[in-house]
Structure 1
Amino acid sequence: MSDTTRGYLRIATEEAFAPPELITLYRDMLDRGIASHGDPGFQSLMGFYTGHRSERTEFVFDRLQDLGAARIADMDATGIDHQVISLTSPGTQILGTADAVAMATLANDQLAEAVRRHPDRFSGLTAIAPQDPEHAAKEIERGHRELGLKGVIINSHTQGEYLDDPKFWAIFEAAEALDTPVYLHPNTPSPRMIGPLLDAGLDGAIYGFGVETGMHLLRIITAGVFDRFPRLKMVVGHLGEALPFWLYRLDYMHGASVRAGRYPFMKPLERNVSDYLRENVWVTTSGMPWAPAIMFCREVLGPERVLYAMDYPYQYAPDEVTAQDNLPLSSADLKVFYQTTAEELFHL
């Protein structure tokens, strides 16, 4: 329950769920050895969670499928007032087009119903099937106008394809028109990328997620997506998947590459790479409750661009909430960090 003496609400903005039907579909794919088009990342990630019984895997799968009492009890136990909930990775994006469209529709209907039951505790993001960009754009509008969802979740690459390809830009057009943010959430690296990471056990959250998603966001920026859609808002977790720490070098090397004409497909942009990261992108602290990194991101991106997330249920650690309460920030700044930035960005 909310602690009115604290002076701010804690709104967690990268919190996952999965319909039971999707978990069943994943299990079936793995049991039949499909692993969707030979994707070793899907096999590594969901093969672990579906095939290894442990306290951790059972907790994660139980809580992913709960949009009621157990989730709210965990929120109360950690002092989380409100969750912005989205479909877990890899979501629909590992599926064939027809199944992906159907599962996105089902997930959005289930999440919207949970929000209606618990409007003070839950908000949700619209899941889409990027495999069908035109349908995805329509689902973004349905989620926004009919279901009351507050953004869009995309779990990074879709079977090795990235959103810098203009064939996907109907998704960005719809999100910009509705002023609804796109949350670019990690996926395991694509089959063309995963090899040396998987060989070392680094393909998942320890490193591969961040490498893959940071690269994806850079592809979006350098392809000119934000020049084409200047009001588009994107959100990335894990403190920006390390990109804030590369701002200087990204600007320097992008400019050098363009001037040299090294890549015919790399065209000049209207602004520096760092400008898009400061003006079109927000970062959350999901999985990264580390004060030095949080304060650095606030310094280089701006305090209004950094907001709280837990990464529930994958990283459910109550002491991390206390750690972020103890950031060297005033009560007013903590309110921006925990509450008002999320309210403004997601129109809560």
Structure 2
Amino acid sequence: MKLIGLEEHFVTPALVGHGTSTSSIAQPKAWAEASRRLLDLTEERLEAMDTAGLAMQVLSLNSPGIQAETDPAAAVRQAATVNDHLAGVISEHPDRFSGFAALPLQDPKKAADELERAVTQLGLRGALVNAHTNGTYLDDPTLRVVWERAEALDVPLYLHPANGVDLAHVFSGHPELVGPMWSWGIDTATHVLRLIFGGVFDDFPKAKLLLGHMGEGLPFTLWRMDSRWNFHAHHGIELKRGKPSEYVRENLYITTSGVCSAPPLLAAMLSIGADHILFGTDYPFEEIDTATQFLRDAPISEADRAKIGHRNAQRLLGLAPATE
């Protein structure tokens, strides 16, 4: 079975420094090993893909990436450079790699232009955004130009976690809760809800948002969100589609990255449908062979396995279909 992974990280030597804040959440040896693998794009990575039977990785700049840059002009330069570099790697291995662009959201108009350049000139398949950009979230009115361009290009934005701007008091005294094990999922799911209640998908109904880690918990909470939306004060917010779940089911696509477990996969399939679930390994933070074996062994139909494994990715990203 052909497998395409959509959350597959890399970094360049010039941008390693942006990840120093993330390094604090990992054990030193684990971070050192991940950092070594992030810098490798073609040697050990391709060997690991071959061993595990992963046909293609859709590469993206590791968290926090360009979002960590405080100088807008530098962010614009860095995004263009890394996107050119990524396109060069893909051109040398077009059957093994595709990619998501990095965007300099510090300058929304130039970010939209860079997205268009990356898609129409470099052949990238959308963009990945690492959480907030210096405290600005994707529902900010200044970023509507980016959503408008993404919808017009018919490409998704992939929302990936990073360290938050701040921490709720409930985390105080418990730094072990900060990071991908817990706080990142809460932050990212809340970011998605900001997009829904902020009207992004009402303004751009055909926009597509990708979310990793089996949807950061959102597929499992839809009934309660709808129920409580009917109960809560709406604070002047109007949802044109009536309830939050409609937006999750229509505009959101999730990947299996970092969640190699059958129960959440089955729950997500029942909640949002197999057509909106795609495969991901979360390399190098998870092992490729663990992820590929998980999907091969998952108790789902062969038709759904093919959708999740590669067909949904081909359809959503416009990748050329291939034999299984």
TM-score, length-scaled by structure 1 = 0.87
Matched residue, 1:338: 309
Q: Supply the distance in 2 between the matched residues of 1:26 and 1:228 (Cα, whole angstroms).
A: 32
Residue 327 (structure 1) shift: 1.1
Q: Cα–Cα, structure 1 residues 198 and 67, in superposed 2: closer, same or farther, change >3 Å?
A: farther
SS in structure 1 at match of 2:106? coil
Residue 125 of structure 2 aligns with which residue?
150
Q: What SS class does the counterpart of residue 311 from structure 1 fall into?
A: coil
Q: Indicate yes or no: 2:3 matched with 1:10.
A: yes
Once the two structures are TM-superposed, the CA of residue 256 in structure 1 deviates from its matched residue by 2.7
- The equivalent of 2:214 in structure 1 is 239
User: Is 1:72 matched up with 2:72?
Assistant: no
Which one of the candidate residues 248, 256, 264 is aligned to 2:223?
248
Separation in 1 of the partners of 2:67 and 2:169?
A: 20
**Matches of residues 182-201 of structure 1 in structure 2 within 5 Å?**
182-191=157-166, 193=167, 196-197=170-171, 199-200=173-174, 201=176
CA distance in 2, matches of 1:86, 1:119: 15
User: What does the per-residue CA deviation read over 1:266-304, in whole Å, with 9 as the maximum and x for residues that have no partner?
Assistant: 333334211111111101011111101101101110111
C-alpha contact 1:238 1:286 (8 A) present in aligned 2: yes
Tell me if 1:106 matches 2:81.
yes
State the alpha-carbon separation in 1 of the partners of residues 51 and 224 from structure 2: 42
The TM-score, its normalising length taken from structure 2, stands at 0.93
What's the secondary structure of 2:177's corresponding residue?
A: coil
Assess if the C-alpha contact under 8 Å between 2:156 and 2:210 holds in 1. Answer: yes
Partner in structure 1 of residue 12 of structure 2: 19
Aligned to 1:286: 257
Consecutive unaligned residues of structure 2, counting only runs of 5 or more, are 320-324
CA gap 1:121/1:244 in 2 versus in 1, 3 angstroms? same
Provide the residue aligned with 2:322 in structure 1. none
CA gap of 1:252–1:71, structure 2 versus 1, over 3 A, is same
Contact 2:8/2:58 (8 A) holds in 1: yes
Q: Do the aligned partners of 1:93 and 1:157 also contact (CA within 8 Å) in 2? A: yes
Whether 2:196 is the aligned partner of 1:221: answer yes
- Render the CA deviation track for 1:36-80: whole Å, top value 9, x for unaligned: xxxxxx3xx23466xx752x2232112211221221011112111
In structure 1, which of residues 279, 282, 297 is the aligned counterpart of residue 268 of structure 2?
A: 297
Deviations 1:101-136 (A, max 9, x none): 121111101110000000000000011011110000
Q: State the one-letter code of the partner of 1:138.
A: D
Instruction: Tell me what 2:136 maps to.
Output: 161
* 1:173 shift after superposition: 0.5
RMSD: 1.7
DSSP-derived class of the 1:248 partner: helix
- Alignment-derived partner of residue 292 in structure 2: 321
Q: Which moved more, 1:173-182 or 1:60-69?
A: 60-69
Identity, in percent, stands at 38
2:146 to 158, 163, 171: 171
Q: 1:246 to 1:120 in 2, by over 3 A?
A: same
Aligned partners of 2:13 and 2:240: how far apart in 1? 44
Within a 5 Å distance, the mapping from 1:113-132 to structure 2 comes to: 113-132=88-107
Q: Is the 1:125–1:149 contact (alpha carbons within 8 Å) kept by the matching residues of 2?
A: yes
Matched length: 317
Deviation at 1:168, TM superposition (A): 1.0
* 1:91 matched to 2:65: yes
